[in-house]
Every structure is written in C-alpha cells, then in structure tokens.
Amino acid sequence: MGLAMRVAIVGAGLAGSLLATYLARREGYEIALYERRTDPRGTAPERGRSINLALSERGLDALRRVGLSDQVMKDALPMRGRMIHPVAGDLDFQPYSHSGDRAINSISRGALNNALLDAALSYRNVTVHFGHKLTALDPATGSMEFGGVRARADIVLGADGAGSAVRGQLLAVGLLDESLDFLDYGYKELTIPARSGDFALDPAALHIWPRGSSMMIALPNPDRSFTCTLFWPNGGTASFASLSSPAAIRRHFERAYPDVPPLAPDLISDYQENPVGLLGTVHCDTWIAHGRVALIGDAAHAIVPFYGQGANAAFEDVVELDRCLDETAGDWPRALALYQERRQANSEAIAQMALENFVEMRDKVASPVFQWRKKLEHVLETALPGRYVSRYELVSFSTTPYAQVQRRIRRQQLAVGAALAATGAATALAAVILYGRWGRHTRSGQMGNHSRKIVGQKIVGGGGR
C-alpha cells in the first residue's frame, strides 16, 4: 500500500470542516485542518459576529450526503415566509412558496460549525491544528508556514473565508487577480430576548423592517431569542456614523422601528458595544494554482448575505469538488480544473442575485406593486406547476445551478411579458372592436332618433302622405 496523500485544509469553519468530512471517507487520504482561531467548541461566539444562517435545500443536500442533516436540523427553526414590520400599520406575512409549506431554516453558525467539526474529527484520518495562522505558502510545492511552524501537503485547499490567507498568498505571487466590491453599508447585531419564556415575535418567519435605504432583520434562535441584524449605510444621516449617543439611538429606533425598543431591553448597549461588520463581494479570475492549490467557499467567492446563500453555496462547492474527484478517479489537477469550470459561473450568478435581493428586502417588500407581483407569481406557480417557478423557490428550495436559475428566470419573464403584452393587445383590440360596434350602434341609434324626430316634425308640421 502506497503512502497516503496529504491534504491540508486551511480554515476549520463551515466549508473546511464539511470538506474534511467528505474527503475523510476516501481511501488513502490524510487530512489536516489548520485554523487560526482557538477551538471554537470551547469558547463563546465572538460578540456581534454570528449572523444566523438561513440553511436551505442546497446546504441540506450537502449534509444529507454525509448523514448529518438530521443532527443539524434538530436545532433548526423553519421560517416559512417574511414578516414585514411597517413603521405604522399591521404586520404583513409573505410566504416564501406558493404552497406556503416550504421553509428556510434558522441555524446558529457557531452550533453548526461545532457539529461539522465534530463530524470531521470522528474520522481517524483527520487532525486539526488550532491557533495556526497561515503566513507563507509555496503553491508549487505545497510548503506552508504558520508562524514558526512549517508543514507540507500534496494538496492545499483554502477554506479560510472572505479574508482568505491562501488567496492572499496566491495574489502575492501573481497567480490570481481579485476584486473586492464593498457596499457602502455595514451590519450590526442586536438581540431580542425571550419574553416570559417564549418568543417575543413569530418564530416561523424571518422578520424584516424595510426602510427604503436601510433595514433590520431578525431570525429566531432555539433559546427563544431573536438575533437582529441592522443593515445600514456607513455614512450620512441615520447611519452607523451618525448615531452614537444613547439618546440619539433611542430616538431613531422609536421613530424608525417603534415596535423594537419595548422588545429589546439591551438595545442601547448592544448597539454601542457590538462592532460594525463589512459587507462585500469577492471576485477571483481563478481559484486554482499548479493543480494542487484551490480556493473553496467564501475564500473563492464571498457574497453579501441577502439571499441567505453564503453557506449553502460553499456547501455546494464541497459537493461539486467531491463529484469531480469521482469523475476523474482522484486526479486532483483535472478535478480542480473541472470544479472551477462548473462552479465559477454559478458563484457569479448568486453574487448578483444576492445584491438584487438586498434592494428587494430593504425597499420593495413593503410596496403594494411588489406584493401584487408576488401574488401573481404564486398564482402562476399553482396554474403552471413545474413550468413556472419563482426565483426564490429555485434558489432556496432546489439544487438547480444558480446560473441556470438566472437563465430560466429571464425566459420566464420574457414569456410572461409577452403573454401580458398579448393579453393587453388582445384586450385593446377587443376594446376597439367593441367600441366600434358600440359606436356604430350609437350612431345608428342617434340617427334613428333624429330621423324619427324629423319624421315626427314632418308629420306634425307638414302632415303626412
């Protein structure tokens, strides 16, 4: 029996831990996870950095393939739609699916990471090294340095997030080009605690406070609290930069989010103490180098969180890489090239859709026109099952490749637009015909009446024959 292939996975977060589990099932591999943090299973989550995950079908599919979905879903809270909180007026629930029974699932990022790490380490051929921050990498040889510690691997996989050190090393030696597109928005977390032992809001919904140029969302937690996330501009009025004093913070919330202060007793301290996070998209022209180094998940294609697809897309990367290894009989250079070929266009597609969904969530969901369009979508989905499917359903409740979703939605929009135009034209034509008939009838009737009047006048005035 030959020597085992050594695979280094830099980053023991969600993607890295799941990837280790997938690779550990293969014969002839020794997998080493390197994580810059201390063991997250023994420490509290970093304050204000949780951003609950919305786990949907793509992520669940990846977990099912390694027998982890049932375990993970034990603590999941299904959200079947959006609950819109206006400044004034009644709440408005908007179901995600036309049937109303499909849901995305609120999951704690920390709890999920711990479960995936435990799953990876249950395999004897997986080891983990905490407190190891990558400081040097030779992509041609697989040699690495973590501070003063040196290591080498046959394959190096960067699963170390949006600020990837592996990507930075490849960039430094000219093996890739990247662009980082940051929004002029940041995020900050708040908490709505349980109220008398129960949820203060409906736990079966993702709550949204749309305010045009900004918004807040809230996702439920198993302890019956809600993690709230503000998505606000970084500068200008009513922004993170302009609100700092307790009085200003309270005034703004009482005016813009009037139902929140009574539910959030730690609102002021949460706002002042929790950090403002960055929001941006990572684009890379290539994800692989020398047939032995590759980026996966956020390290390759970090996106903004407004479609809840960041972790789901990363898990799909893992599934695709595993599939490529099967198809190439473990030929890593071929598998990595095939993996990038299949996933890169899809990552660009979901990055674009996530940005579009930000505008929808913060601005459009409260619009009567938007609400009418969503109802029309659900009517079409019911009337044309399988033929018409909304973008949200395709993204969240299927594993249809993201780029294919974009193409299908364009075709559907063109077809519906053409149908509406044809209906409009037919309606207009019918109106013209009916108007013409009505006009002729009216004119005929008017002439008849006039004629009768004339005849009557002749009878009355001139006698008759």
**pLDDT recorded at residue 431:** 47
**pLDDT recorded at residue 49:** 66
Question: Residue 437 above 50 pLDDT?
Answer: no
**pLDDT recorded at residue 136:** 98
Of 39-43, 115-119, 350-354, least confident by mean pLDDT is 39-43
Number of alpha carbons in the 13 Å side-chain half-sphere of residue 428: 6
List pLDDT tens digits, range 261-281.
Answer: 999 999 999 999 999 999 999
Q: Higher confidence at residue 323 or residue 421? A: 323
* Phi-psi sector, 237: left (phi>0), alpha (psi -120 to 50), beta: beta
Query: What pairing do the DSSP bridges indicate for beta strands 206-210 and 81-84?
Result: parallel
* Distance in angstroms (rounded) separating the CA atoms of residues 408 and 414: 10
The H-assigned helical ranges of 198-259 are: 246-256
* Distance in angstroms (rounded) separating the CA atoms of residues 282 and 269: 32
**pLDDT recorded at residue 460:** 30
Q: Higher confidence at residue 462 or residue 408? A: 408
Write b or e for each residue in 211-248: b if 16 or more Cβ atoms lie within 10 A of its Cβ, otherwise e. beebbbbbbbbeebbbbbbbbbbeeeeebbeebeeeee
